[in-house]
Amino acid sequence: MFLRLGKAVVKYPWVIIAVWIVAVVAVVGLAPKLSTTSTEANFLPSHYQSIQAENLQKKDFPTAGTPAAIVVFEQASGRPLTAADTQRIGRIAADLAARHIATIGTIRAFPLPTNHLVAAIGVQMPNAQGQLSQAQVDAIDTLRADVASLNRGSGMRAGVTGTAAQYVDQQSSSNKATKIVAFATIALILALLLLIFRSPIIALLPVLTIAVVSEMARGLIAAVSSAFNLQVDTTISTMLIVVLFGVGTDYILFLMFRYRERLRAGEDSKTALVQAISRVGPAIATAAGAVIIAFLALTLSSLGLLRALGPALAIAVATTLLAGLTLVPAIVSLLGTRAFWPSSAWKTEPTGAHFARIGDALGRRPGRFAVVSGGVLVLLAIAAFSFHPSFNLNSGATSTTQSAVFDRILLKSYPAGTIAPTDVFLESTTGAPLSAATLHAYGTRLAAVPGVGSVATPVIAKGGTVADYKVVLDVPGKSNAAMAIVRGPLQHAAAASPRGAKTLVGGITSVYVDLQSAMDHDYAIVFPVAAVLILCILGILLQSVVAPWYLMAAVGLGFAATLGASVLVFQDGANQSGLTFILPIVMYLFVVALGTDYNILMISRLREEAATGRERRAAAAMAVRHAGPTIASAGLILAGTFASLMLAGGSTLVQMGFAIAFGIAVAAFVMSMFLTPSVTALIGHRAWWPGHDARADEGNRQGRALLDRRTADSATTGDHTPTAREHRARDDRSAAVASNTPLARHRP
């Protein structure tokens, strides 16, 4: 299959390029706009209590919800506000209301707190749920401009916070983050590829091709999201950049390293490209298949966020795979060896002995390498037991935005839960109006709950059958402490409803409580399904039931070590309350799926070497020597691209950037380079059971032993330049011995 594909690409490069151009133009021209949301409630199914409460609020209290925006005032000197200040704030509130800003409803000043340090004005925005319309975004911008104008010369600081303002700042931060990450990713790829190949053409190849592919991927994602009504998170644009450029560059590196190796074996450029596609194509396709299937496992999630994220990233990887096996080879076919211009290093094997020495040491002492590399991962994995989730997706905005700054100022005088109060709804089940005595007694019970700062007089719906109690907690509504209060004592108190009534607890804290329940469900479903599917892919590729198990065990250990390292850095080192709640699943999929890429490349090369008749330790040594440079280069680039997320600011992207980059570095430089080949060397031919027995006949083994001794001698002298004849001889023996193996079917 891959041999035929390689021949077709080399024979019809212009046709393939033309097809890609037409396809990209068609998809981009016809695709709808990709819409996103940063509101957590949009990701939960309707059977959760917080969503039922939100629906009840929309039906019975359409204009009496939590203020979407809060205008906050304080003296620039930090002293208490004077009577003149409070009078001016009252006039500002009246002036803002008189301006009738589009999409903004009631504007009303909050009661002045006892310490007089801060004053606030509540701003209602009907239907400001989830993704704001452009008119609502414009309204927040207008509100901020009007506040600044009316407050000028007062001696007070003023700013706008609240959920709607946080959404606007989140969007602005996300757009800036996308630009920063795009620049950093492209700069990193250019620099590293120039360093590796010393060719501007190869350095620009992934940047230019993936820039085209990314437009097609975005169009396809937008079309699928629109067709299936998927709610895509605001971070998807930033994630797409690193996935497309990181994964795409990896696949191009896999191809170009093998292409260069075939050129050094003495083949002409066309034959070398066909050989490269036929030999590395199965590994690339299998690696991409593992990633795609792992991402698609997210469709089993109960959260809309993950159900949308999975297909989006799967489409991105599938598009990149298709380009890596067709568009990129077609361009390289036209360029030939000019792709390496101006460097001529592609003509000879490098004299550096780093990976040869590593492979030789691993071949001699595989047990030591397995214990040390595995032990390091186990030590890091222990810290994963201290993981605490954080459910605030708006932490994607930086702490210097106006909403974040004035959110902190508001805490000087108002309870921490003011911006995100909890709504407790009391609804009559008999159809009779709720009595005043019932309403008062129920409010008193809620106010007595530990952790509750205040309970406002309930707002009564028309007909008197539903009451909305605004419960302000003593802790921020988006904190773990608030979740503990709502999940525990407040839920218990609210559930003790009067006879003839029922209750629902809503608000953002209640949403977070339900998100945690949903995540617990997803951990038990998505993780095992993704692992089983990847295990099956590995089994099909290797025709073995042994190797896939220890490969997946190694990748799972790498995941646990990565989570542990993230806990040590952010929870212990940076003293953060927790890691973003979606991090374990996103990290699991990236680390397991992308980490499996490197394991597949290493194990495929190891089996290829073993199939020639090499003794198990010699096969591991040669696999590290030949596949090591590719894995190291690809791992460095992919880890670097994900690390660029840390430049975006905001705890969510910073945590994702660190965790995924660290996990990929572990997968490339610990698991694939040391753990996988050393364990395979220890297990020996049994790793491939029940497939082809990697033990060659005795005559072939003796021939291999002679070449192994020559290889060892060259490692001692520093001469690692095999002749074209040696390459061809090795390939002939490989073909003779491995003619019945699954991998051999992909060779000419």
Asked if 242 and 659 touch (Cβ cutoff 8 Å), the reply is no
27 contact partners, CB below 8 Å, separation of at least 6: 215, 216, 219, 220, 223
Q: What is the pLDDT of residue 234?
A: 55
Q: How confident is the model at residue 99 (pLDDT cuts 50, 70, 90)?
A: very high
Asked if 677 and 620 touch (Cβ cutoff 8 Å), the reply is yes
Q: What is the pLDDT of residue 401?
A: 83
Rounded CA-CA distance 325/284 in Å is 9
Q: Where are the domains of the chain?
A: 1-30+198-347, 359-384+558-748, 404-513
Asked if 672 and 599 touch (Cβ cutoff 8 Å), the reply is yes
Mean pLDDT along residues 359-377: 91
CATH of 1-30+198-347, one of 1.20.1640.10, 1.10.357.10, 3.40.190.10, 2.60.40.10: 1.20.1640.10
pLDDT in tens, 211-259: 888 888 888 888 877 777 665 555 566 677 777 877 788 888 888 888 8
Distances (CA, A) of 506 to 41, 410, 420, 466: 10, 22, 11, 14
Give me the percent of the chain exceeding a pLDDT of 70: 84
Lowest mean pLDDT among 77-81, 369-373, 609-613: 609-613
Kindly state the DSSP code that residue 108 receives in the 8-state scheme: E
Q: What is the pLDDT of residue 191?
A: 85
The answer, yes or no, to whether residue 92 has pLDDT greater than 60, is yes
Q: What is the pLDDT of residue 444?
A: 93
pLDDT in tens, 672-692: 889 988 998 888 878 878 765
Q: What is the pLDDT of residue 700?
A: 44
pLDDT in tens, 122-140: 898 876 655 677 888 899 9
Kindly state the DSSP code that residue 299 receives in the 8-state scheme: G
Rounded to the nearest angstrom, the gap between the alpha carbon of residue 167 and the centroid of all alpha carbons in its chain is: 20
Please tell us whether the domain made up of 404-513 is placed in CATH 3.10.20.30. no
List the one residue out of 595, 539, 606, 656 whose CA is nearest residue 235: 656
Q: How confident is the model at residue 373 (pLDDT cuts 50, 70, 90)?
A: very high
Lowest mean pLDDT among 31-35, 37-41, 284-288, 329-333: 37-41
Rounded CA-CA distance 42/608 in Å is 49
What is the overall mean pLDDT for the chain? 80
What is the pTM assigned to this prediction?
0.71
